[in-house]
Amino acid sequence: MPALDTLAAFFGVSVLLCLSPGPDNVFVLFQSALNGRKAGLSVVLGLCSGLLVHTAAVALGLAAIVAASETAFTVLKLAGAAYLVWLAWQAFRAPVGPLSAQAEPASFGRMYLRGVVMNLSNPKVTIFFLAFLPQFVDRTQGGTALQVLWLGAAFMVATLLTFGAIAVFAATFGQALQRSTRAQRVLNWGAGTVFLGLAARLAISQR
């Protein structure tokens, strides 16, 4: 286990990173505004589950393979971009009107899976973890892999707290907008446009 002061410093930096604008918190923001608090929190849990995989990959050294392989990086980023384009299409064609009249209400499983896929299909997260976590590992403490797991757990807690707060805020704001059909339409098109932007950003990203 890392020293407590190291863990506390890492947690503070993690919170700041989670609060800085990025694809994941923007994704949480719009999913919460469009689908409500429960859906937003489900997405957050999905994102955190994805972080479990990234943490394990760093601990086992698999992240280095993705970072070194142009093919693996390209396949992952194109898959992520395609998924975001699909979400944009879903947002553009989403029905408007009373929520009770809308088809396919957001379920926990569906929104949770969106969070997992969103996180795992972004190779930049893997590379970020590969570069970020080892900086806080103290090799004199031994158990490098175990320290990485502790740091990954701390990052997940930071993500859960900050993204959870974003989800609650966005859901409250979105609930007010959902009373207006015009506002719903603007929100849907805004979300679709953002998802397309995120897809383009991911598709052209470099290692």
Measured between alpha carbons, how far is 207 from 205 in angstroms, rounded to an integer? 7
pLDDT: is 192 or 14 the higher one? 14
pLDDT: is 133 or 27 the higher one? 27
Q: pLDDT tens across 128-152, in order?
A: 777 777 777 776 666 777 888 888 8
Token output for 57: 């990959």
Kindly give, in sequence order, each residue whose CB lies less than 8 Å from that of residue 192, ignoring residues fewer than 6 positions away: 88, 89, 91, 92
Per-residue pLDDT at 205 exceeds 80: no
Per DSSP, the residues of 163-200 read HHHHHHHHHHHHHHHTT-HHHHHHHHHHHHHHHHHHHH
Per-residue pLDDT at 44 exceeds 90: yes
Q: Average pLDDT for residues 170-188, to the nearest whole number?
A: 70
Q: Average pLDDT for residues 14-43, to the nearest whole number?
A: 83
3-state secondary structure of 204: coil
- With cut-offs at 50, 70 and 90, classify the pLDDT of residue 103: very low
If you average pLDDT over every residue of the chain, what do you get?
76
Q: Average pLDDT for residues 159-169, to the nearest whole number?
A: 91
Q: What's the pLDDT at 46?
A: 92
Report whether 167 contacts 37 (CB < 8 A). yes
The sign of the torsion formed by the CA atoms of 112, 115, 116, 117 equals positive
Per-residue pLDDT at 6 exceeds 60: yes
